[in-house]
Structure 1
Amino acid sequence: MGGRAMVYERRIHERKVPMRDGQILGYVHSTESFGAVDGPGIRFVAFMQGCNMRCQFCHNPDTWKKNVGSEMTTDEILEQALPYRQFWGEDGGITLSGGEILLQIEFAIELFTKCKKIGINTCLDTCGQPFTHRQPWFSKFEKLMEVTDILLVDIKHINSDEHRKLTGYRNENILEMCEYLSAINKPVWIRHVLIPQRTDFDNYLKQLGDYIKTLTNVQKVEVLPYHTMGVHKYHEMGIKYDLEGIEPPAPERVKNAEKLLHVEDYRGYLEV
């Protein structure tokens, strides 16, 4: 393991968990009351603050900075969410998204534990970058999986070198997470952003499609066409936008990606 990775491992193990009145505090970027694309059904979504990766296509660079944002307890999240419970139906519930929620894993465990006690469906939206089998982090992840019903997992790029160019990090540990989730049969929806000149290459799409086929727990695969709706944030924040001039993929390229990823083979989400 490289020096940068070892420093990161030490930091996530030694991180002091913020508390207030005996509850874990989370740093929240924003919330959404009626999320329709963040897991099964209609969902209350808490977008957590902080992310290590610097994805070139990220449309929310304002979520990158850690230990900032609105400080909220798990009870405060539930107080915001529960008035909308009548709209969730049988499939909906609460989703924790990001930023990267696994950077605040203790908060996720506490919130989802409370959710399961009152019968709320729980969904975790993650890119998996913080995942490690090292202790004590892995034990926390195992505990989180006990109270998580489903995960939305973004696989940014199947090739690790290209993944590093695109996000700043390699992908080996992310794929390890996918394989662990498959081993414990935890339901997963996999998402892949299709970006011209970055991810829209048939050889990589075929590799990703073949890789997903090795997993036994995938209920849905989604191709998300790259868009430029977040570019203005980079300009406002004075951040260089590395995909300047790249346009969204043509519809036929989206259909091609869906074919190579075998999207139609994954229908388990219709049974949820």
Structure 2
Amino acid sequence: MKTSENTLRVHSIESFGTHDGPGIRMVVFLQGCKLKCLYCHNPDTIDTHGGKEFPIESLVKRAVNMKSYFGEFGGVTVSGGEPLLQSKELIHFFQRLKEEGIHTNIDTNGRVLNHFTTELLDGYADLVMLDIKHMHEDGYQMLTGQKNKETTFNFAKHREASGKPMWLRYVLIPGLTNTPGLLHEMGAYFKDYKTIEKIEIQPYHKLGIHKWEKLGWQYQLNDARENTEEEINEAVKILEQYFKEVKIN
């Protein structure tokens, strides 16, 4: 991945996002990810050599031009791909956004926790949305293609220690991640965290299959079904026992 400190490698930009943090947001989808989640609906963001380089100042200018739409709660979210692969460059981006009085948010899988990431998290990220893939190592490997789920939990511990806000995200896949046992286990693990403001449930869907086909990749969850309304309601009922707020996204 080739970038300079003054550029970010970007896949796409959404100007009026309403599902990636509080309020109306400019969402910058960064290019590159080390995971290959079976349900990924943006597989074209995975290749670290894809996307285009954008000057950070041009992104800041775009965000400043949108400030009137952000209102009290909106701002800028960086998503992906995995945005923290570009942590070093994001420090400069978030510094500039903070100078302009713009709320900053990171949507991440928590796989990167180096000194650039900790500087970014502790100094400039107003909010972090952390994607919990699975509570068990074998399930994590099956879903993501990578080992060591503990990196995500170490990331959560670091954010908790900082005392700064965090949301959790969790994809409900029938038979794989939506079992009552897993939901209770996740709730019990995080129930004492003070920084978690809410958990967002993301029901499984197949909207990204055509992108997998376009890339020539085999989509391995073809046999998976979408959640029933009863399953979603049951998941909400379980998680409400542990979290302040449960939202279906």
User: Could you state the TM-score of these two structures normalised by the residue count of structure 2?
Assistant: 0.93
C-alpha distance in structure 2 between counterparts of 1:199 and 1:268, whole Å: 16
- How far residue 106 of structure 1 moved from its aligned partner, in angstroms, is 1.2
Match of 2:233 among 222, 242, 255: 255
Q: Given that residues 220 and 263 in structure 1 are in contact (C-alpha distance below 8 angstroms), is that contact kept between their aligned partners in structure 2?
A: no
What amino acid does structure 1 have at the position aligned with 2:117? F
Aligned residue number for residue 69 of structure 2: 87
C-alpha distance in structure 2 between counterparts of 1:70 and 1:263, whole Å: 44
Q: Given that residues 44 and 95 in structure 1 are in contact (C-alpha distance below 8 angstroms), is that contact kept between their aligned partners in structure 2?
A: yes
Match of 1:245 among 214, 223, 243: 223
Aligned residue number for residue 10 of structure 1: none
Secondary structure of 2:6's counterpart equals strand
Q: Given that residues 85 and 93 in structure 1 are in contact (C-alpha distance below 8 angstroms), is that contact kept between their aligned partners in structure 2?
A: yes
Relative distance call for 1:57 and 1:263 in structure 2 (3 A) is farther
Query: Over aligned residues, Cα RMSD in angstroms?
Result: 1.8
Secondary structure of 2:13's counterpart equals strand
Aligned residue number for residue 236 of structure 1: 214
Aligned residue number for residue 5 of structure 1: none
Q: Given that residues 18 and 25 in structure 2 are in contact (C-alpha distance below 8 angstroms), is that contact kept between their aligned partners in structure 1?
A: yes
- How far residue 267 of structure 1 moved from its aligned partner, in angstroms, is 4.2
What amino acid does structure 1 have at the position aligned with 2:167? W
Large movers: runs of 4+ above 4 Å: none
Gapped runs of 5+ residues in structure 1? Answer: 1-14, 132-136
Q: Given that residues 8 and 30 in structure 2 are in contact (C-alpha distance below 8 angstroms), is that contact kept between their aligned partners in structure 1?
A: yes
1:11-160 alignment to 2 at 5 Å? Answer: 18-19=3-4, 23-131=5-113, 137=114, 139-145=115-121, 146-160=123-137
Secondary structure of 1:71's counterpart equals strand
C-alpha distance in structure 2 between counterparts of 1:263 and 1:236, whole Å: 42
Aligned residue number for residue 145 of structure 2: 168
- How far residue 201 of structure 1 moved from its aligned partner, in angstroms, is 1.3
Relative distance call for 1:268 and 1:258 in structure 2 (3 A) is closer
- How far residue 266 of structure 1 moved from its aligned partner, in angstroms, is 1.5
What amino acid does structure 2 have at the position aligned with 1:232? H
Q: Given that residues 221 and 263 in structure 1 are in contact (C-alpha distance below 8 angstroms), is that contact kept between their aligned partners in structure 2?
A: no
Secondary structure of 2:125's counterpart equals coil
Range 114-123 or range 139-148, more displaced: 139-148
Aligned residue number for residue 181 of structure 1: 159
What amino acid does structure 2 have at the position aligned with 1:116? K
1:199-210 alignment to 2 at 5 Å? Answer: 199-210=177-188
- How far residue 60 of structure 1 moved from its aligned partner, in angstroms, is 0.6
Relative distance call for 1:74 and 1:60 in structure 2 (3 A) is same
Q: Given that residues 129 and 174 in structure 1 are in contact (C-alpha distance below 8 angstroms), is that contact kept between their aligned partners in structure 2?
A: yes
C-alpha distance in structure 2 between counterparts of 1:70 and 1:233, whole Å: 19
Q: Given that residues 219 and 266 in structure 1 are in contact (C-alpha distance below 8 angstroms), is that contact kept between their aligned partners in structure 2?
A: yes
What are the Cα deviations for residues 153-208 of structure 1, in whole angstroms up to 9, with x where unaligned? Answer: 11011112211111012310100110111111120110100001211211111101
User: Could you state the TM-score of these two structures normalised by the residue count of structure 1?
Assistant: 0.86
Aligned residue number for residue 8 of structure 1: none
C-alpha distance in structure 2 between counterparts of 1:67 and 1:216, whole Å: 38
C-alpha distance in structure 2 between counterparts of 1:264 and 1:200, whole Å: 16
Secondary structure of 1:58's counterpart equals coil
- How far residue 229 of structure 1 moved from its aligned partner, in angstroms, is 0.5
What amino acid does structure 1 have at the position aligned with 2:41? H
Relative distance call for 1:59 and 1:82 in structure 2 (3 A) is same
Secondary structure of 2:205's counterpart equals coil
